[in-house]
Structure 1
């Protein structure tokens, strides 16, 4: 029996789930279910807890190991769930010794004392077209809505050499694109010798691995995009024309209450600069609807930002109060209001995405195939081909023939 993984939350969790599965299999685990939790929202925690209870009902006796941010923050709660054999903290989950079959259960260690990034290359890149590469961990900021620093600890960075080694391993396994991921990738570098920035690291990576066809960034804080990264965006075609910005809101007062480091004007300036340096770039954003004290006028500012900043791909959260955060102590909006506003934001995003798709009509796109008949363009538009046209991992030229709510329709060029 193999090691089964149930992964919740972000891309970093997805990367780490793959690494932990490798470690568990290598240590001789069989029939174990690994549940990698997320603490960003109450819904994410609920889904993970429901999955564990379902395992206990449907597969009594199965060994469940729980880890991730929610488990790090409240280990006693997760260890008390039925069927849970062990909880492993975020600071230890990528250490091979934590997965030894004879490893004794140990208390979850203090994540705030964590230093460095586990240099564990995920060798299990087989059957993947795109590889997630962890370059950074943790966060030094304290946004009032966010509990993740207490699950991930302080910001820390992977040395450039370790990043290069992982990228080369991904290419050798057949991946054609890598995504640099972390909790706050724009904070990369100050803890390393010479304090390289994210842009400097990316520039060195592209120089040291000239055979890398496509480099992409995960969500990035608009307040901390460095000059080298801007230069790469303008001059390096291997850096994909796609930025996903951690904006969260469009009203200055709410941004201050969130303790964000940018203003509405800053967000618009970043979007304009990106478009100037890379005409046609696709812009995505993380946005929160229904933050405490948000009135209709403040929400309208976020809704208007979608069009003003030219955002195409939105990741929308209805605000979720996280225990222990300052925002949880602010006056809360009814959940129905939060959900209704989130739905309006998603509708605005869907409309913008359709406009972006329509502008690609008749264009020839470089599509990275994740399956023989579908993949993603350089702008990260999902594409479905009229017929299977290649193998997973192939970069195929395809002409756009149509679009629907699920993305672009195309045929091999």
Structure 2
């Protein structure tokens, strides 16, 4: 792998003496990025990262509130920390992130187990909160900010491979989808200075990383204003891709109402902008989309798909889908299935509707679709997506792709895996190739989840 070892070392956790910090991360890619920011902040205060929970002086759990199941997993995990607390009286346990913002009172009431609660905009305050908790006072800071982006903080990279990294370009969300808790837990949308984003991407490339993913709740609405000059997402995307042709660039997530032709034309012009777009539909029914406050119709969504097909004919598409939203009928569900068939998604994240407290849906709509109906509809969606994924992968058999090698196959040390520009996983014989290199691979076989190839 071609990289500067000293540059890579600067991005990795520090070793040496100091209180030991253990972090568990749940939820989205944004939370992974946030955990790296948290470690950077606490390293400055003398903490040192550990992967061993049994040697930790501080345990932080970075949480997600998008679905009830995610919160229940964290609550169950907190109970498992009791033995560590008994063995080490000075051990501090903190809950950070979206769940901290939403459930601060409940968390502080949990049998004196949680010492610190910190929302997504209060990570700079963690050193003070930890000192306060160490003195015996339980600590809370869940204030939301209109300005905080952690722009100048260089994240400490926790990935294992040194190939792919996340870069947060904005925080918060203004869309107010009726089912979604994110605007309440992460606050209003604000964009990060593009100069800091470019600097971070350049540092990653110089350290040997060959792929970055630009993150935001809605990257299409990224906008930085300064001195009368405005930078939108298309310009930012072009600038990051311009760092080096060997740096692959991805982004997530796109809101259909804001995906512009300008972004698509930038992608078509830059070969290192990956041919994969995640475009959450949530439902194929215009009636459902209106109830969800998605601000587009089925027809608008399909118009964006048509633009992608026209401008980027080799682009892969993935989506998010919700089964059983309030008042959803069999006809609405069939609209979702027909949308899936019409688009032919390569991949999808698929969920049963989970009512989140204080959202518009929770306040104004009845969660009236029985759970067994939600489950049956979700099963149909999953089964159809498995078919669509297999069909898409079969179309790739016989084709040749450039694959960025990310690691060794779990099944055999003699095989490597990586991803195509279309974000499909490919497994192939190792040969003389190494992690972090590009390889030309011809696809010989597939499953619904994986392409099998031979090295050329």
Partner SS state of residue 315, structure 1: strand
Q: Distance in 2 between matches of 1:388 and 1:24?
A: 41
Whole-Å separation in 1 of the counterparts to 2:182 and 2:258: 19
Whether contact under 8 Å (1:157, 1:192) holds in the other structure is: no
Distance change >3 Å, CA 103–CA 128, structure 1 → 2: farther
1:103 positional shift: 5.2
The answer to whether the 8 A contact 1:156-1:191 is kept is: no
Q: Residue 199 of structure 1 contacts residue 227 of structure 1 at CA under 8 Å; is this kept in 2?
A: no
Contact residue 3 and residue 25 of structure 1 kept, 8 A: no
**Whole-Å separation in 2 of the counterparts to 1:257 and 1:268:** 19
Alignment partner of 1:306 is 2:337? no
Task: Report how far residue 401 of structure 1 moved.
Answer: 1.4
Measured against aligned partners, the alpha-carbon deviations of 1:282-313 in whole angstroms (never above 9, x if no partner) come to 00001111001000000110111011122221
Question: Cα distance 1:283–1:152, how it changes in 2: closer, same or farther (>3 A)?
Answer: same
From the superposition, tell whether residues 152 and 57 of structure 1 become closer, same or farther in structure 2 (CA, over 3 Å): same
- 2:42 counterpart of 1:24: yes
- Checking the alignment, whether the CA contact within 8 Å between 1:123 and 1:169 is kept in structure 2 is no
Aligned equivalents of 1:307 and 1:192: distance in 2? Answer: 44
From 404, 409, 419, give the equivalent of 1:368.
Answer: 404
Q: Do the aligned residues in 2 keep the contact of 1:160 with 1:205 (CA within 8 Å)?
A: no
**Secondary structure of 1:84's partner?**
coil
- Identify the residue that residue 210 of structure 1 maps to in structure 2: 244
Question: Please, which runs of 5 or more residues in structure 1 have no aligned partner?
Answer: none
> Where does structure 2 lack aligned partners over 5 or more consecutive residues?
1-18, 49-55, 409-415
Q: Using the alignment, how far apart are the partners of 2:179 and 2:160 within structure 1?
A: 37
Aligned-pair distance for 1:59?
A: 5.5
Aligned to 1:77: 106
Per the TM alignment, residue 210 of structure 1 is displaced from its structure 2 partner at its CA by 2.7
CA contact 1:267–1:309 (8 Å) conserved in 2: no
Paired positions, count: 409
Tell whether the 8 Å contact from 2:116 to 2:140 is kept in structure 1 after alignment: no
Q: Distance in 2 between matches of 1:393 and 1:35?
A: 30
Compared CA separation, residues 390 and 59, structure 1 to 2 (3 A): farther
Question: In 2 relative to 1, CA 389–53 (structure 1 residues): closer, same or farther, beyond 3 Å?
Answer: farther
Where 2:131 maps in the other structure, the secondary structure is: coil
Equivalent in the alignment of 2:147: 115
Q: Distance in 2 between matches of 1:392 and 1:293?
A: 49
Output the CA distance in 1 between the equivalents of 2:224 and 2:292. Answer: 24
Indicate the residue corresponding to 1:64 in structure 2. 93
CA distance 1:346–1:196, change in 2 (3 Å): same
Shift of 1:110: 2.7
Does 2:372 align with 1:340?
A: no
Q: Which one has the largest radius of gyration?
A: 2
Tell me how far apart the structure 1 counterparts of residues 396 and 118 of structure 2 sit (CA, whole Å).
Answer: 46
Please say if 1:285 is aligned against 2:319.
Answer: yes
Structure 2 partner of 1:99: 127
Which structure 2 residues correspond to residues 396-407 of structure 1 after superposition, within 5 A? 396-407=439-450
Deviates more, 1:136-145 or 1:48-57: 48-57
Mapped to 1, the partners of 2:202 and 2:76 lie a distance apart of 38
Aligned mates of 1:192, 1:334 — CA distance in 2:
50
Distance 2:386 2:47 in 1: 43
Q: 2:221 aligns with which of 187, 197, 212?
A: 187
Distance change (3 Å), C-alpha of 1:84 and 1:391: farther
1:44 aligns with 2:70: yes
CA contact (8 A) 1:206 1:212 kept: no
The structural deviation recorded for 1:34 is 1.4
- Normalising by structure 1, we get a TM-score of 0.93
Residue deviations 1:50-102 (CA, integer Å, cap 9, x gap):
11111224663442211011111221222233532211121111x2x523553
Aligned partner of 1:8 in structure 2 is: 26
How far is the alpha carbon of 1:226 from its aligned partner?
2.8
Rounded to whole Å, the distance in 2 between the matches of 1:87 and 1:217 is 30
Conserved 8 A contact 2:120-2:186: yes
Equivalent pair of 1:368/1:394 in contact (CA under 8 Å): yes
Distance of aligned partners of 1:388 and 1:149 in 2 relative to their CA distance in 1, 3 Å threshold = farther
Structure 1 residue 275: deviation in Å? 1.2
Change (3 A) 1:128 1:78: farther
Partner Cα separation in structure 1 for residue 68 and residue 40 of structure 2: 29
